[in-house]
Amino acid sequence: MARIVVGVGGGIAAYKVPGLVREFTEAGHHVDVIPTESALNFVGAATWEALSHNPVRTSVFEAVDSVNHVRLGQEADLVVVAPATADLLARVAAGRADDLLTATILTTTAPVYMAPAMHTEMWQNPATQANVTTLRNRGIHVPDPAVGRLTGKDTGPGRLEEITVIAREALALIDRPTPLAGVRAVVSAGGTREPLDPVRFLGNRSSGRQGVALAEALRDAGAEVELVAANIEVPAPDGVEVTAVTTASDLERVMRDAAAGADVVVMAAAVADFRPKEYVDSKIKKNPADDSAPVIELVRNPDILKGLVEDRGARAQRNNEGSAANEPGLLPRIIVGFAAETGDENGSVLEYGRAKLERKGADLLVVNEVSETRGFGTPDNTVAVLAADGADAGEFSGSKREVADFVVDAIAARFHR
């Protein structure tokens, strides 16, 4: 049984939070509810006390004899705040302690999970985004809100996530298994960009969401994680080392260096297959005298995944020959590749994936079908995890974080064989 503090912010979505309290109490957890004064305008203290079976207070000047503003935070195993309004996020980011809830958050050393809910404009405001970044950098878990119907006729990002999702994700912070504790993992994410001139580049539509989710999942499984980020469009996760790169050549150099000291390597970045043969120092301009377009000659980029596999093989051979006794670094036990594929008249997505796995020599290959509406930039994904030894992990569909957990489970199962 865990001791859970449920903080309730003063937003309309507070009416959903009694369901969260019930989820926790019916699972056998001890729950203390701390609403803000504003939250009591939406759901009264009697409801919270009936559901939690504990007294409800909002002020640091209540139950002073038990030093509640310190005790509740010190004793908590988990603090969950829902809805986390824009005002509440701002106060916690500023380190305020002007009511019982913010004082408790400031006191606790337990994991803190804040589920945002507000109008889209408030969520997207630079002030709110800066506060969220501050909180995440401090190790407070602030997921993006759901997208959907808001108050009135408004629709967009800012809806409180489903209660079952909040409960599952929050409890995972204290119930999380760590099958990869002590493992060093390197993950690439995003899409490389190959400059053509000072203004233009060749790139792809990868946002980095799946790679970032993999870094988070590996971190949560106990691994020490380095994220090699190629132009990602989402925030890097807390608690991981981040190295930024731009081009495929940059990515190759950093990944080869990092892989030499890693146990697990995951190549989730979308690497440009080609780059311009020549870089032009000034912007390529249209010729007003004719309608012709310049001819851009391309050359192939290095196959980074295949190179990592070859590096491992060469190092293993040197170790076997006794010539690498003083060579620093580890041998990656597991190398995972990603393949964004489309099927055609010559083969299916999985057929192309199996051929690529054999060609690259990786231990696992995560294959997903992509299109203009699937894969790149979307919140969900569908993948198949293929294994070089034929022990495929199967297919899975879900959010990119759920897909990441599925892939990490496959990695952990193989790592402990």
Would you name the residues annotated as active-site residues? 204
Number of Cβ within 10 Å of residue 122's Cβ equals 17
Is 400 assigned to a binding site? no
Number of Cβ within 10 Å of residue 328's Cβ equals 7
Determine contact, residues 83/116, Cβ cutoff 8 Å. yes
Is 273 assigned to a binding site? yes
**Dist CA 239 CA 337 (whole Å):** 23
Q: How far is CA 283 from the centre of its chain?
A: 36
Q: At what angle do helices 304-321 and 248-259 cross, to 10 degrees?
A: 30
Is 111 assigned to a binding site? no
Is 363 assigned to a binding site? no
What are the tokens at 109? Answer: 């050393």
Is 283 assigned to a binding site? yes
113: helix, strand or coil: strand
Is 16 assigned to a binding site? no
Q: How far is CA 332 from the centre of its chain?
A: 23
Question: Could you tell me the sign of the dihedral formed by the alpha carbons of 264, 270, 274, 277, in that order?
Answer: negative
Q: DSSP for 297-349?
A: -EEEPP-HHHHHHHHHHHHHHHHHHT--TT--S---SEEEEEEEE--BTTB-H
Q: Which residues contact 268 (CB under 8 A, 6 or more apart)?
A: 187, 188, 189, 210, 211, 214, 336, 338, 366
Determine contact, residues 324/318, Cβ cutoff 8 Å. yes
Angle, CA of 245, 249 and 251, to the nearest 5°: 40
What are the tokens at 348? Answer: 């299916």
Q: How distant, in Å, are the alpha carbons of 2, 60, 301 from that of 31?
A: 8, 18, 56
**Dist CA 336 CA 327 (whole Å):** 24
What are the tokens at 218? Answer: 């590996």
Determine contact, residues 246/231, Cβ cutoff 8 Å. yes
Is 338 assigned to a binding site? yes
Is 202 assigned to a binding site? no
Length of the chain: 417
Determine contact, residues 252/213, Cβ cutoff 8 Å. no
Is 286 assigned to a binding site? no
Strands (E), 231-357: 241-245, 264-267, 274-276, 298-300, 334-341
Bind-site residues for CTP: 273, 283, 302-305, 338, 356, 360
Bind-site residues: 273, 283, 302-305, 338, 356, 360
